[in-house]
C-alpha cells in the first residue's frame, strides 16, 4: 500500500523540462530572445556583459563524468581535487573557448576537448577565459563600427561644415575641444583598438559615437554646391548624402548601445542630442522623442540636473575644470528646452523641470545698441539664453495649464504680459540687424530669426487652447502666428539650400499656418483687418514648403495639408487682393504688434449661440491636440499622395485622403 502511494506521489511530480536552454542565463531569466552571441545584444545594451554566460556547457559537465573511466590517460587524475567553487564556471568558459575559438569538436569522447573539459584549469581564474572571450567579441564589434568613419581628409571637410552650418543651433559642442579629441583619436593605435574599447580612456572610447553623429549632420546639411571630393564617400551609384548620413548616425548609435551607460563621459550626452537632432531633421519625430528621453536619463545619471552652484561644484569637484561645469549646464538647459518644446508641440509628458533662477543670464539686457559693437563678444548660446529668459522658461508652465481651471485665464494673462515685457528688454543685437555684428558672426542673422520664431511660438502655444473662449486670446494667437510666418520668411531668404533639411523651417511654419487657417474657418467674421496679411503669409508659407519638399519629407507632408486648408479658407471667405505686406528684410519684433488689438487685461469670455457654439466648442477641444501632433501620428498623411500645384486652383481636400475621426482635420471638414 505504501509502495502504491509512493508511486502515485511520484506520478504527480512535475515532469522535468527536457528542452535545453539555449539562451544566456540573463536572457533566460528575463525571458528575452537571445542572439547567442558572447556577450549577447541584450547584455551588451544593459551593461551586463560580465554575467552573460551560457549554462549548456555546465550541464554537459555532468555527462562527461560518465565516460571518465574510458580515458586511460587520466585514470589517476582526481577531479575532486579541482576546487568545486571554480570548476563549473571554469568548464563553461573553457568549453566555449575551445569550441568557438580553437575549433575543437565537442562530440569527440577521447580528444583534447574532453580532457580539458574534465580537468578544467585550476591554476587560472575562470573569469579570465570569459573576460578574454568578451574582450575579443567587443573588440571585433567595436572595430567593425569604427570602420564606418571615413578617411581623415573627408572628416576634416565634414567637421568644418558641421561647425559652419549646424553647430550654432545649440552650441553644445565646442570646436576647440572637439578638435583636440579628434586629434587624440587619430593617435590611437590599431593594437590598442584590437584589445577592445575597455582598454581605451573613457573619453576616447565614446568619441567615435559623437564623431559619427557630427558627420551625419554635416552630410545632411550639405549645400547644393558642395566639395566634389565628398562624392568619393558614395559606395553605390544611386546613393545620396542623406543615405550616408543615416549609415553614420546608425553606426554611432550602435557604438553608444554597445558601450552602455557605465563610466560614460559628457560626449555620450552630446552624441545622444545630435542623434535626436538628426532623427527630427529626417522626419522621425517619434524616434527623436524617444532618443531624447534616453539621453535625458543618461544626463541625470551624470548629475547634469543638479544645477545649483553648490551641486554643480560638488559634481565637478575639480576646480581646474570650470569649462566642464559650463558645458554640463549648457547641455542640461538644451535638453530641458527640447523636452519642453516637444512636450508642448506633440502633447507628450515632460521628463525635466528647471528652476529659471539657476540659469545664468547674458549681459544686462538693454534696448540700446552698445557704444562700440566691434567690442561685443557673442556666442550662439547667448541667443538661447536670451530666448530662455524672455519666453522659453514659461513652456513648462504652459504645458501644465489646465484649460478648465478657474485660474487658467489669470495665469495666461500673467505669462503674456511677462513675455511681452521681456521682449521689449532684449538686447539690440537680438532683435534688429546689425551690419557690424552680422558680418563678425555669420550665424547671427539666422540665429536671430530663429529666436524671433521661437519666442512668438511661446505666445502662440499660450493662447491656442483658449481661442474659442477668449476673443483676446484669438487675436494674440493669430498675431503671434503672423510674426512667426514673417520671421520664417526672412530666415528662409537668408538660409541656403542646406537649411532646407532644418525642422525649424517646417514645424514652425506648419503650426502657424494651421492656426491661421483654423482662425478664419472657425471664426470667419473675426480679425478681418488681419485677413490680407494672413493670406499673404500663407501664400509665402506654401511657397517655402514647396521649395523644401524635394529635400525634406516633412515639408512635403505639411505642404499637402496646408494647401488643402488654404483652399477651404478661399472657398468660405471673400478675400480681397492682399497688399504687398512685409516687403522689407529688416528684422523687427514690433511690426505685427503695431496692428491694433484689444487690451488683454480687459478680456471678455465670448457668449456664443446657434450653430457656431458647437463649432467653437469643438475647436477648443481639437486645438489642444496640436496640429503637428496630427501631422506626425495620423494615418491621413502616411497614406496621402503628393498634391500637384496648379496655376489656377489649389487641390481639394478629398485628394488628401479620409481624415481620422475626431482628428484636427475632421474638424476642418466640419467647418466647411
Specify the CATH number for the domain of residue 48.
4.10.240
Q: In terms of domains, do 418 and 534 share one?
A: yes
Q: What is the pLDDT of residue 593?
A: 40
What long-range pairs does 260-264 form, CB within 8 A, spacing at least 24? Answer: 260/44, 260/45, 260/46, 260/47, 261/47, 261/298, 261/301, 262/47, 263/202, 264/202, 264/206, 264/298, 264/301, 264/302
What is the 8-class DSSP label of residue 658? P
Same-domain status, 440 and 548: yes
Q: What mean pLDDT do residues 641-656 have?
A: 34
Q: Which of 180-184, 329-333, 400-404, 431-435 has the lowest mean pLDDT?
A: 400-404
Tell me, yes or no, whether 441 and 519 share the same domain: yes
Instruction: Find all residues with CB under 8 Å of 342, minimum gap 6, and list them.
Output: 288, 289, 292, 348
Task: Work out how many domains the chain is built from and give that number.
Answer: 3
Q: Is 550 exposed, middle or buried (0-12, 13-18, 19+ CB in 10 A)?
A: exposed
Helices (H), 85-125: 87-96, 112-119
Q: Is residue 216 part of a domain?
A: yes
Q: Decide if 197 contacts 259 (C-beta within 8 A).
A: yes
Do 140 and 266 lie in one domain? The reply is yes
pLDDT over 60 (residue 51): yes
Identify whether residues 171 and 249 lie together within a single domain: yes
Question: Which of 139-148, 290-299, 318-327, 521-530 has the highest mean predicted lDDT (pLDDT)?
Answer: 290-299
Please report which confidence band the pLDDT of residue 15 belongs to, taking 50, 70 and 90 as the band edges.
low
- 8 A C-beta contact, residue 459 and residue 391: yes
Final residue of a structural domain among 538, 573, 608: 573
Residues 438 and 511 in one domain: yes
Query: How far is residue 441's CA from residue 445's CA, in Å, rounded to a whole number?
Result: 8
Inform me whether the pLDDT recorded for 91 exceeds 80: no
φ/ψ of 54, rounded to 5, equals -115, 135
98 has pLDDT over 70: no
Lowest mean pLDDT, pick from 104-118, 179-193, 560-574, 592-606: 592-606
| Reported pTM | 0.70
Q: Let me know if residue 663 belongs to a domain.
A: no
Say if 34 falls within a structural domain: yes
In this structure, the answer to whether residues 396 and 463 fall within a common structural domain is yes
Domain assignment present for residue 154? The answer is yes
**Most trustworthy range by pLDDT among 112-116, 586-590, 610-614:** 112-116
Residues 316 and 179 in one domain: yes
- Name the domain boundary from 573, 597, 629: 573
Answer with the residue of higher pLDDT: 85 or 18: 18
Cis peptide before 39 (omega within 30 of 0): yes
DSSP of 152-194: HHHHHHHHHHHHHHTGGGT--S-HHHHHHHHHHHHT--HHHHH
For the chain, give the percent of residues with pLDDT over 70: 66
| Alpha carbons 307 and 583: distance in angstroms, whole number | 44
Is residue 406 one of the residues assigned to a domain?
yes
75 lies in some domain = no
Note whether 390 and 318 are same-domain residues.
no
- 337 located within any domain: no
In a domain, 122, yes or no: no
Which residue has cell 570646436? 175
Say which range, 363-377, 476-490, 648-662, has the weakest mean pLDDT.
Answer: 648-662
When mean pLDDT is compared across 147-156, 243-252, 355-364, the lowest value belongs to 355-364
261 shares a domain with 146: yes
Domain boundary among 52, 67, 95: 52
Q: Decide: 193 and 146 in contact? Cβ < 8 Å.
A: yes
Output the DSSP codes for 5-42. HHHHHHHHSPPPP-SPP-SBHHHHHHT------SS-HH
Phi (first) and psi of residue 70, to 5 degrees: -80, -15
Q: Which of 168-182, 349-363, 397-411, 599-613 has the lowest mean pLDDT?
A: 599-613
Whether the predicted pLDDT of 4 surpasses 70:
no
* Domain region containing 435: 378-573
- Specify which of 300-309, 314-323, 661-670 reaches the highest per-range mean pLDDT: 300-309
Mean pLDDT of the chain: 75
Distance CA 445, CA 431 (A): 10
pLDDT of residue 618: 46
Q: Tell me, what's the pLDDT at 577?
A: 55
At residue 16, the pLDDT reads 54
Instruction: Based on the fold, state whether residues 27 and 138 are members of the same structural domain.
Output: no
Do both 299 and 414 map to the same domain?
no
- Which of residues 433 and 667 earns the better pLDDT score? 433
Amino acid at each position: 500500500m505504501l509502495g502504491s502511494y509512493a508511486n502515485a506521489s511520484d506520478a504527480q511530480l512535475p515532469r522535468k523540462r527536457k528542452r535545453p536552454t539555449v539562451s544566456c542565463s540573463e536572457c533566460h531569466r528575463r525571458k528575452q530572445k537571445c542572439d547567442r552571441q558572447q556577450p549577447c545584444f541584450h547584455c551588451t545594451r544593459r551593461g551586463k556583459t560580465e554575467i552573460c554566460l551560457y549554462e549548456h556547457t555546465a550541464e554537459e559537465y555532468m555527462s562527461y563524468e560518465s565516460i571518465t573511466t574510458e580515458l586511460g590517460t587520466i585514470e589517476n587524475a582526481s577531479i575532486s581535487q579541482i576546487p568545486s567553487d571554480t570548476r563549473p564556471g571554469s568548464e563553461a568558459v573553457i568549453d566555449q573557448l575551445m569550441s568557438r575559438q580553437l575549433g575543437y569538436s565537442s562530440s569527440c569522447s577521447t580528444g583534447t576537448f574532453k580532457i580539458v573539459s574534465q580537468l578544467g584549469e585550476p591554476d587560472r581564474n575562470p573569469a579570465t577565459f570569459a573576460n578574454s572571450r568578451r574582450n575579443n567579441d567587443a573588440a571585433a564589434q567595436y572595430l567593425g563600427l569604427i570602420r564606418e568613419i571615413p578617411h581623415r581628409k573627408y572628416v576634416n571637410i565634414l567637421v568644418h561644415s558641421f561647425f559652419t552650418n549646424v553647430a550654432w543651433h545649440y552650441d553644445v559642442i565646442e570646436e576647440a575641444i572637439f578638435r583636440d579629441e579628434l586629434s587624440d583619436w587619430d593617435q590611437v593605435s590599431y593594437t590598442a583598438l584590437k584589445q577592445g574599447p575597455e582598454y581605451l580612456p573613457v573619453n576616447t572610447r565614446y568619441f567615435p559615437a559623437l564623431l559619427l553623429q557630427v558627420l551625419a549632420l554635416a552630410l545632411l546639411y550639405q549645400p547644393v554646391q558642395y566639395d566634389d571630393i565628398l562624392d568619393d564617400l558614395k559606395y553605390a551609384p544611386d546613393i545620396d548624402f542623406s543615405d550616408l548620413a543615416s549609415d553614420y548616425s546608425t553606426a554611432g548609435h550602435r557604438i553608444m548601445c554597445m558601450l552602455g551607460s557605465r563610466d560614460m563621459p559628457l560626449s555620450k550626452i552630446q552624441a545622444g542630442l545630435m542623434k535626436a537632432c538628426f532623427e527630427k531633421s529626417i522626419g522621425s519625430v517619434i524616434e527623436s522623442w524617444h532618443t531624447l528621453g534616453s539621453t535625458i536619463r543618461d544626463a541625470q545619471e551624470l548629475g547634469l540636473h543638479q544645477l545649483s552652484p553648490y551641486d554643480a561644484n560638488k559634481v565637478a569637484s575639480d576646480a581646474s575644470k570650470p569649462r566642464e561645469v559650463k558645458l554640463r549646464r549648457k547641455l542640461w538647459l538644451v535638453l530641458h528646452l527640447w523636452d519642453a518644446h516637444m512636450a508642448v508641440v506633440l502633447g507628450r509628458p515632460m521628463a525635466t523641470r528647471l528652476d529659471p533662477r539657476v540659469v545664468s543670464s547674458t549681459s544686462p539686457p538693454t534696448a540700446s545698441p552698445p557704444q562700440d559693437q566691434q567690442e561685443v563678444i557673442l556666442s550662439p548660446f547667448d541667443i538661447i539664453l536670451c530666448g530662455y529668459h524672455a519666453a522659453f522658461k514659461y513652456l513648462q508652465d504652459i504645458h501644465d495649464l489646465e484649460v478648465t481651471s478657474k485660474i487658467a485665464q489669470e495665469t495666461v494673462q500673467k505669462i503674456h504680459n511677462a513675455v511681452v515685457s521681456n521682449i521689449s528688454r532684449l538686447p539690440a543685437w537680438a532683435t534688429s540687424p546689425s551690419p557690424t555684428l552680422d558680418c563678425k558672426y555669420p550665424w547671427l542673422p539666422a540665429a536671430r530669426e530663429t529666436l524671433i520664431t521661437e519666442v512668438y511660438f511661446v505666445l502662440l502655444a499660450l493662447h491656442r487652447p483658449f481661442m474659442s473662449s477668449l476673443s483676446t486670446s484669438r487675436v494674440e494667437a493669430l498675431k503671434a502666428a503672423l510674426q512667426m510666418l514673417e520671421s520664417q520668411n526672412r530666415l528662409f531668404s537668408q538660409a541656403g539650400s542646406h537649411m532646407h533639411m532644418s525642422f525649424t523651417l517646417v514645424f514652425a511654419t506648419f503650426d502657424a499656418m494651421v492656426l491661421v487657417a483654423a482662425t478664419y474657418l472657425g471664426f470667419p467674421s473675426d480679425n478681418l483687418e488681419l485677413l490680407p496679411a494672413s493670406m499673404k503669409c500663407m501664400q509665402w508659407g506654401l511657397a517655402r514648403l514647396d521649395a523644401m519638399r524635394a529635400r525634406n519629407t516633412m515639408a512635403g507632408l505639411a505642404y499637402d495639408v496646408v494647401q488643402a486648408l488654404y483652399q477651404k479658407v478661399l472657398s468660405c471667405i471673400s478675400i480681397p487682393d492682399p497688399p504687398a505686406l512685409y516687403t522689407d528684410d529688416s528684422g523687427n519684433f514690433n511690426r505685427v504688434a503695431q496692428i491694433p488689438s484689444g487690451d488683454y487685461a480687459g478680456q471678455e469670455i465670448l457668449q456664443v449661440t446657434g450653430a457656431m457654439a458647437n463649432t467653437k466648442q469643438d475647436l477648443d477641444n481639437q486645438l489642444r491636440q496640436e496640429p503637428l501632433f496630427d501631422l506626425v501620428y495620423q494615418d491621413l498623411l502616411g497614406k496621402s499622395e503628393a498634391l500637384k500645384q496648379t496655376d489656377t486652383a489649389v487641390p481639394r481636400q478629398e485628394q488628401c485622403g479620409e481624415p481620422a475621426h475626431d482628428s484636427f482635420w475632421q474638424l476642418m471638414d466640419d467647418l466647411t
